[in-house]
Amino acid sequence: MPADNGQFPFSTDSFWGNIFSRKSRSLDDITYTLSKSVLFASMNKAELQEFEKIIHRRTFKANEAVFWEGEPGVGMYIVKSGSVGIYNITPDHGKKEIAVLKSGEFFGELALLDDSPRSATCISKENSEIIGLFRPDLFGLLERKPRLGNKFLFQLATVIGERLREKNRELYAYKSKLDSTEIIV
């Protein structure tokens, strides 16, 4: 049966190619996905390969939960392919979608800092491949390669700081809107 690209699936090139270049191709895949993320943007290939050693690749079916709100956080995820939805599920309002994340985007990064409960539920919207980076592995990297670990933590702090600034701006906007609003009793 011909493959999608018109080539025979067991042609000599692809057959031997799969055997001999699987590792390097998978490595390149991961390092490419990581490099697309703002957290790893400043890292060189050797540094990305160090992270490749500590990340986990997971595949999720459509509608499969990645994690549930309230569970202890273990780490962050980066969407490699497919998409995931972030939800708040309450008994009163049901499932409320907060965000949809696509390839290259990340979520759950606060769980890298402590094991406080997840603040939202994450569900795969379609068949997706997701890369996970978890706290125990990051701490291990910090033990072994403190310079690289700190570089990552600094980048993480920058991202969290930027989000905090954005939330502050939103808060001020809401506050000034509230101040200017006349409350009619």
Name the minimum Å distance from CB 115 to other proteins: 8
| Both structure tokens of 118 | 């997840």
Residue whose CB is less far from other proteins, 115 or 166: 115
Name the minimum Å distance from CB 134 to other proteins: 6
SS3 label, residue 42: coil
Name the minimum Å distance from CB 95 to other proteins: 8
Residue whose CB is less far from other proteins, 23 or 177: 23
Amino acid letter for position 65: A
C-beta of residue 156 within 8 angstroms of C-beta of residue 51:
no
Name the minimum Å distance from CB 184 to other proteins: 43
Residue whose CB is less far from other proteins, 147 or 177: 147
Where do contacts with other proteins occur on this chain (CB under 8 A)? 53-54, 56-58, 60-61, 63-68, 70-72, 74-75, 115, 123, 134, 136, 140, 143-147
Helices (H), the chain: 12-36, 45-54, 135-144, 146-180
Residue whose CB is less far from other proteins, 54 or 113: 54
Please tell me the distance from the alpha carbon of residue 14 to that of residue 19, in angstroms, as a whole number. 9
C-beta of residue 72 within 8 angstroms of C-beta of residue 143:
no
